[in-house]
Amino acid sequence: AVFSMLTQGVTNNVALVDVMEDKLKGEMMDLQHGSAFMRNAKIQASKDYSISAGSKICIVTAGVRQREGETRLDLVQRNTDVLKHIIPPLVKYSPDAVFLIASNPVDILTYVTWKLSGLPKHRVIGSGTNLDSARFRYLLSEKLGVATTSCHGYIIGEHGDSSVPVWSGVNIAGVRLSDLNPKIGTDADPEHWKDTHGAVVKSAYEVIKLKG
């Protein structure tokens, strides 16, 4: 995410904070070595939250590792405990920042962050089902053999196992699939599109299993 923001010119000033000092330094150096492809980027890293002072946006990805077979909801208490140590100092040094939460379970932890921060609700945002929707569009493209950018569709609700695909809104280059297949996404669907949403849910666990 940081690399994308730097290369796309979203920002040229990034401060990384983590408790794992060696890993943190490695991440910083890795990004710094790519500075030639960025716009005069300033990349810093520290265990001390003061390095983040005056941030406009704080992106929170911290959390315990999700174990194989463990659902996102299983992480609630452990990651709530993690956020209790992270959010107060971030707010202290960047009281005017917008907080973007990506830690799992993201919907619950976005609420937890809002309560811990004391910030107005419009300044605490979760990544929600953005990743689910991106996976959905990719899998649509794989099934149909067309470019992902031509596939449009959204997953709504809670990020993860209980997410909901909006089949009525799925379109390929402007053509709604529900016009071609009125039973899309139902048990009576002859094309078994329901399996595509199942693959969206399962893919996260597959990634965790493969990447460790």
Tens digit of each residue's pLDDT (9 = 90 or more) over 79-109: 999 999 999 999 999 999 999 999 999 999 9
Task: Answer for the pair 181, 189: CB distance below 8 angstroms, yes or no.
Answer: yes
Q: Which of 152, 159, 192, 197 is catalytic?
A: 159
| Close Cβ partners of 193 (under 8 Å, ≥ 6 residues apart) | 167, 177, 181, 184, 185
| pLDDT range class, residue 160, cuts 50, 70, 90 | confident
Mean pLDDT in residue range 65-71: 75
pLDDT of residue 129: 97
Q: Which CATH number fits domain 2-126: 3.40.50.2300, 2.40.50.100, 3.40.50.920, 3.40.50.720?
A: 3.40.50.720
Give pLDDT tens digits for 162-191: 999 999 999 999 999 999 999 999 999 999
Active site residue 192: no
- Average pLDDT of the chain is 94
Domain segments of the chain: what residues? 2-126, 130-211
Q: Which CATH class name applies to 130-211?
A: alpha beta
**pTM for this predicted structure:** 0.89
Q: Tell me: pLDDT of 72 over 80.
A: no
